[in-house]
Amino acid sequence: MSKQIIVYGGRGALGDCLVRYFKSKDFKVTSIDLKKSEQADVSITLGDAENLEKQAEFITEQIQSSLNGEPVEAILNVAGGWAGGNAHDKNFIKNSDLVFKQSVNSTLIAASLASKFLKENGLLALSGAAAALDATPGMIGYGAAKAATIHIGKSLAASDSGMPKNSSVLTIAPITLDTPMNRKWMPKADTSTWTPLEYIAELFYKWVIDPSSRPVNGSVVKLTTKDGNTELSYH
């Protein structure tokens, strides 16, 4: 039987890359997103109007019926998005609400799923941001959402968090990902400092298949790319 993973945010640029990569490695992949994934073996499509509790209930029911009682090797939460604004910005509250729904809600649901469906020694990967390791005055809501994600990851890695035995919770903190949308909105940027999506797919794959390669449980893994080469540092 194929090994199984869940990609939360499977229709985003990074999520789609992960779905394709793990499929190429003969994993059965379940995508969770607002849009259907044509690449995934199972695609759970959400309604964006549903509140956190209803979304969690719906996803849990769908996952339970599709897994046939088999635990998953990993849950990779790469759902999220960016929205800026300082406290005086007219869209400050609106944008903050959006990024909290995208990043924090998905992280909480992923944590709940991991407590139920992740195998012992499995991996829960979360998506923070390097910017959230410091103050973010020009994007307060975004920074707060990513800081909350980092906090949730560290808390899940602590004892009595409800996670499966010997599982790992790791939060990546990239500076800028090399996505089509980032290239569209920042056409003059130095893309040699952007982290390729394939690099993250390969990193996650290594962590999934070889638990000994994982950093210390609860680590925030900052990804710094220079001249096309990516280095990891741990926080």
Report the CATH fold assignment for 4-234.
Answer: Rossmann fold (3.40.50)
Say how far apart CA 185 and CA 137 lie, in whole Å. Answer: 21
Q: How many residues does the chain have?
A: 235
Tell me what pLDDT residue 111 has.
Answer: 99
Which residue's structure tokens are 């199972």?
Answer: 42
Q: What is the pLDDT at residue 197?
A: 98
Mark whether 142 is an active-site residue.
Answer: yes
Instruction: Compute the Cα dihedral for 5, 38, 111, 126 and give only its sign.
Output: positive
Q: Return averaged pLDDT per consecutive 10 residues of the chain, 235 residues in all.
A: 94 98 98 98 90 96 94 98 96 97 98 99 98 98 98 99 99 97 93 97 99 99 97 97
Catalytic residue among 8, 142, 199, 205: 142
Secondary structure in 3-state letters for 36-84: CCCCCCEEEECCCCCCHHHHHHHHHHHHHHHHCCCCEEEEEECCCCCCC
Question: How many alpha carbons fall within 13 Å on the CB side of residue 54?
Answer: 6
User: The whole model's pTM is what?
Assistant: 0.97
3-state class percentages of the chain: helix first, strand second, coil last, to nearest 5: 45, 25, 35
Apex CA 203: angle with CA 126 and CA 46, to 5°? 40
Task: Write down the pLDDT at residue 69.
Answer: 87
**Domain chopping of the chain, boundaries:** 4-234
Which pLDDT does position 50 carry in this prediction? 81
